[in-house]
Structure 1
Amino acid sequence: MYQQHFGLQTLPFALTPNTGFFFGLAPHVEALQVLQVALQSGEGFIKVTGEVGTGKTLICRKLLNELPDSFVCAYLPNPYLNPMELRLAVAEELGIATADVHDQLQLTGLIQQQLLNLAADGKQIVLVLDEAQALPDESLEALRLFTNLETEQRKLVQVVLFGQPELDQRLAQDNLRQLRQRITFSYQLRPLTLNEVAAYVRHRLAVSGYQGQPLFHPAEAKLLFKGSRGIPRLINVLAHKALMLSFGEGLSCVNHKHVRAAIKDTEDASQISQTWLWGLLLMALTLAGGAMLWRGLL
């Protein structure tokens, strides 16, 4: 690919969430801070929502990597599960043997006993669900019932929900109001600003080992921002394609043409209008005409 051409050790704009590329941008740091404070409180549901590609899974993995040893985590990356499947997945994450389990009542009892055992050992249990907007209503209700399990001092389990904005729409339903009332902390991820996009691109290139002159100048970073709408996943797609085009021409940096071609080739990117070119041309003609008139007057 273009790694050797640009002096890179790894691909800087891969789509797989990699905590090694985590960058302390304001929305991501704030989300992590909310999660950490919420988990220390020890109660209720915690919710993080954001548009597709804004970094929810990366934050989720960062959180899991940084949980103190006092936490036991059950992580469900694909929660499109009915209540029985959900309970089985939680049980397996908590190390419970489920081969001889015959019904939900028995399974719930085993989970409760394991939670009590872990709490007796001084552990805090957190259930983390990615793509939570995919949970069926009955499974969301099953989650709420999990948080009913408690000792006299505290809840036995906390639940962290990562989801797209559709999750908020789901929770707005009247039949889910009991769960909605138990959400004690929430955070909504926003897209990156222009300055954050430029810093994000520089950071990922630096982590990948790049040490030369800027590959994306301010004008190209602005195009990336417009085409991606500040969404990190789209930034990665566009920057990767632009670097491929630059490499294909044997150039040492990315130019306008490369970013525009990347945007045009990417289905979900915001297509850049060409009308600004006509505005520049009209301005140039006006200035030229004014200069000619001034010289005529002289």
Structure 2
Amino acid sequence: MELDQLRYFLQVAADGNFTRAAEHLGISQPALSRSIGRLEEEIGQPVLQRQSKCVSLTDAGKLLQGRAKEVLSILEDTLAEIVDDGQVGRIRVGAIPTIAPFFLPGLLRRFAEDYPQATLVVQEATTDELLKACADGVIDVAILALPIQAKYLEIEELFEEELLLVLPPNHPLVSKQSIELSDIDQIPFVLLGEAHCLSDNIVSFCRKQSFHPVSVERTSQMATVQELVSLDHGISMIPMMARRLDQSERRVYRSLNGARPTRTIVAVWNPYRFQSRLMEAFRNTVRAYAGTIEQVTGTP
């Protein structure tokens, strides 16, 4: 049994399709099929149940999937430990879409300056996908926002940031010196889709204040939320990180008076995987960089 066979099998299991798996692996579909066929011959029974457009795991495949992940994880950790010099290596970083474009660029630049021989690989995905990737060893660390439901993962709080009310410039509330939550309780909201935890942060804050926002539109991109607000489709709440990068005059940002919505940014990793000196250096850089992010509490 070859390691590549295990890798190929895990990719097919993850994609549920030979064609997609072959594309991800960069090999031809016939070559992938032959590799899986040889694996099944050696095991003595099928590990994949083939259907017209997809494949699923047999009972033997489910057992092999868990063991294959363990074998490859042990091998990766062993190789990483052998070559661990604190300077050379690969760090795989994940972040949710409402954090990645605002937090990662500065962080990665800082780390690259201090560790030029290191390779940084970025993955942007939802919270659930990144938690699974952390648990499986697909990524080394994820930058996420609370709340998080995760077992056997280390979670370190980095900082808390305010969520600012964003309005079109011609909105009547723009002229108010102080905006109360009661001022917006009948105004439609533009929110991200349910897969994004930012919407959960917003809705949870509103419910704690006995206020239920009316969502009229949902989208998958923060930039689209901002543009829809500019077009007077509704209002929304945007993280301070995103607001700092928004230089457009087509939107106005305000802090709410009294209790203000916030979210807590965290770093997450699997403490049961080998923690290289380079990985520890990266986490230290994450902590230091997070500490430099100025927390603006007044009206911007």
TM-score (norm 2): 0.24
Which is helix-richer, 1 or 2?
A: 1
Which is strand-richer, 1 or 2?
A: 2
Larger relative contact order (Cα-Cα within 8 Å, sequence gap ≥ 6): 1
Between structure 1 and structure 2, the one with the greater Rg is 1
